[in-house]
Structure 1
Amino acid sequence: MSNISESEEILKYFLVPDNTRIEANIITVEGDVIVGNHSSIEYSLIGDTVIMGEGVAVSGDIEASNDIRIDMWSKLGNRVEVGGNAYLGEFVTIDGKLLVQGDLDVGKEVKIRGGFEAKGWIVVRNPIPVIIFLFLYIKEMMRLGKGEEIEKAVEELFDDSEDIQSFEGKEPAEKVLIIPAGSKLSHDTIEVDGETVIGNNCLLTGNIRAQAVTTGEKLTLKGSIYSEDKIFIGENNTVYGNLYSKGDVQIGRNSRVFGGIKSNSVLLLENARVDGTIKAPSGVSFLRDAAEMPVLAEVNALGKLIMSETHELPENEPKDETRNGPQGETVKPLNLIEIGLPLDLNAKVRNIFVPGRKRRTARTRALERTTRFTGARTYRKEQKSGE
């Protein structure tokens, strides 16, 4: 039963594969699309295999280059084009036209208001429920990295399934867009209950609301991020919006946020930039690579501050530890900045500030002068009386 729990955990994440584009009215994926139960999508979908759970609503077009599986009570508001086979559960409604290049397998009470065209067989029955098909799909994905124990356990559970043999030969796509159950994807907001993981080279439009957000590299997000937990922005990303988090926020190298940040703490890596205001009660930290740290200042014997950049000698030129030229001349360090001593050597000793010595008040100095003057006068009187 551990396989079932792992499968359910995968479906709780909003996973956005590499090169995914969510812009205007279209979601384009270089792979498969899985939509959880009772989700609402106000976009058109373009992908390889499209799988939808129960009670899903899609207002745009759907283009599946391979198969499409729609569970019961789902509603598709526009045109549907399928390059392979189509499986429609009971009470599915399609407001537009359905074009199927392969077979059409439909359940009872399916309504296709725009008509349909199918070049293969048309069968009216109840297709395998999508929740079982999802389990088979994830089982095949897990097989790529798991042992024989998981495979045997799943085969025992679904040994009587008629679709398992046809599915054995299909390798699932490496890039899968997973939209968890109960998600809402509109033109303004992408709202999911679980965590969000975004791949590389993606373009997303809309504000993201999730439990936690983690991004890859070269992401362009035209919107803000609202997170209950952490926000991790990868390298070379651009966010045209604000970041709000009840946890911690980390901005990767060479990333830029055209907005403000409000979170518990903020960590900015090398060359990360935030144009707006940062509010972090636990503080803001900056992290730089050790190899890119600036050269520390050196103080010579005269108290002058010398700043020099490190440089490598040519391979054929030997290193000179005495730092003298070929004729014995002293080599001057690069980028020399000299700052004179802050002390005036000609000033009186009493004006020199000594660390650790307490500062004396004017009254104390006056009493000291009076004591010295009285002592000197008494000393002179004793000298005269002695003579």
Structure 2
Amino acid sequence: MGEGVAVSGDIAAFSDARIDMWSKIGSGVKVGRNAYLGEFVTIDGKLIVEGDLDVGKEVKIKGGFEAKGWIIVRNPVPVIMFLLLYIREMMRLGKGEEVEKALEELFDDSEEGEEFDGKEPAEKVLIIPADTRISPEAMEIGGKAVIGNNCYLIGNLRVQSIETGKALILKGSINSEGNITIGENSTVYGSLISKGQVHVGKNSRVFGGIRADSVVMHEKARVDGTIKAPSGVSFLREASGEKPPLAEVNALGKVIMVEAEEQLRNEPDKGLVKAVNIEEADSPIKTGLKVKDGFVPGMEKKSARTRSLARTRHFAGPRSLRKRQGAGDHQS
């Protein structure tokens, strides 16, 4: 767990637990192996550790603790003083390059090569970012949330953006400022709300509505609710023969055929889809007055005879007047 994480419920770890400084646990903590607590960590319940307990300065455990292994209380001040004395002495001896190399190794944050029980950390470790708030009602994460495969979560999620793996079961809704990506074979018992784009993978199901700027769904995905997307809804389908993999109908009545799967893999930062062919769809609404073989309000169809009689009546009046005027002049 990162710095400043707040958890209102219990924590149970079958292996190790590492809780960074300024975090607060609202109930008990049970650890199957070793526990590492940073400075100023507060635990309102009881701490039970099956292995070693390593705690920093000003750690408060209100419910008491039990540890079957070693108990180590760390004080970082002597370590800092030692480093200062070491750097000053090495600089006095003119070994600045060695000091720089030692500092790089000391403060290197990379975790390459680190393994837990012979497996990669992504398969074995739950990582909670700094300043996260976790409660039975909701989980609030200030940055991007990444959920692995075969996960089971209960509660709502409030994140900046989220990407999930395959076979996720979420009993709650997701509210995101950015994009939401739901992996294949996943089930969400709630709504998806995003100011960006929502992508629902193959064979996934959402028991709720979707409200986002745009939505991209696989043709085998299902949403049991209302979809609201001002920028349009796109449907992905598996390429078979000459059929295009995506058909999109936007608000302007245009049918857009796009190549989607390749661009999803190669250009994730440029949006999920890109139009390669645009065809105008016939619109049932005629906006112009010159419509071929169509009906225009106020203009009825007339036969040739009717039009000829109309022209005769139009010119008959002025022609008769001229004849009467000519006859009158002749008689006078």
TM-score by length of 2: 0.62
SS at match of 1:285: strand
* Gap regions ≥5 residues in structure 2: 80-97, 108-112, 244-290, 310-332
> Aligned to 1:86, which of 53, 56, 63?
53
Cα separation, partners in 2 of 1:363 and 1:76, compared to 1, 3 Å: same
SS at match of 2:302: helix
Counterpart CA distance in 2 for 1:86 and 1:177 is: 20
Cα separation, partners in 2 of 1:184 and 1:272, compared to 1, 3 Å: same
> Aligned to 1:196, which of 145, 148, 153?
145
Higher relative contact order (CA 8 A, sep 6+): 1
Residue 291, structure 1, aligned to residue 240, structure 2: yes
Task: Name 1:69's counterpart in structure 2.
Answer: 36
> Aligned to 1:363, which of 302, 318, 326?
302
Percent pairwise identity: 38
Counterpart CA distance in 1 for 2:241 and 2:25 is: 50
Task: Name 1:37's counterpart in structure 2.
Answer: 3
Q: Which amino acid aligns with 1:289?
A: E
Q: 1:106·1:127 contact (CA, 8 Å) conserved in 2?
A: no
Residue 100, structure 1, aligned to residue 67, structure 2: yes
Please give the per-residue CA displacement for 1:105-134, whole angstroms capped at 9, x wherever unaligned: 125xxxxxxxxxxxxxxxxx55999xxxxx
Counterpart CA distance in 1 for 2:234 and 2:206 is: 16
Q: Which amino acid aligns with 1:91?
A: E
- Stretch moving more, 47-56 or 189-198: 47-56
Residue 55, structure 1, aligned to residue 22, structure 2: yes
SS at match of 1:286: strand
Superposition RMSD on alpha carbons, in Å? Answer: 3.5
Counterpart CA distance in 1 for 2:142 and 2:214 is: 23
SS at match of 1:157: helix
Cα separation, partners in 2 of 1:253 and 1:363, compared to 1, 3 Å: same
Please give the per-residue CA displacement for 1:219-275, whole angstroms capped at 9, x wherever unaligned: 111111111110001111111111111100011111111111111001110221111
Task: Name 2:158's counterpart in structure 1.
Answer: 209
Cα separation, partners in 2 of 1:367 and 1:99, compared to 1, 3 Å: same
Superposed counterparts of 1:1-387, under 5 Å: 35-47=1-13, 48-107=15-74, 156-157=102-103, 171-172=115-116, 174=121, 175-291=124-240, 362-367=301-306
Cα separation, partners in 2 of 1:127 and 1:53, compared to 1, 3 Å: farther
Question: Deviation at 1:207?
Answer: 1.0
Cα separation, partners in 2 of 1:36 and 1:290, compared to 1, 3 Å: same
Question: Deviation at 1:45?
Answer: 1.9
Question: Deviation at 1:209?
Answer: 0.7
Counterpart CA distance in 1 for 2:166 and 2:100 is: 36
Counterpart CA distance in 1 for 2:11 and 2:77 is: 22
Please give the per-residue CA displacement for 1:112-160, whole angstroms capped at 9, x wherever unaligned: xxxxxxxxxxxxx55999xxxxxxxxxxxxxxxxxxxxxx999722778
SS at match of 2:240: helix
Counterpart CA distance in 1 for 2:198 and 2:242 is: 23
SS at match of 1:90: coil
Cα separation, partners in 2 of 1:272 and 1:170, compared to 1, 3 Å: closer
TM-score by length of 1: 0.54
Q: 1:106·1:126 contact (CA, 8 Å) conserved in 2?
A: no
Q: Which amino acid aligns with 1:238?
A: T
Q: Which amino acid aligns with 2:62?
A: D
- Stretch moving more, 261-270 or 361-370: 361-370
- Stretch moving more, 37-46 or 233-242: 37-46
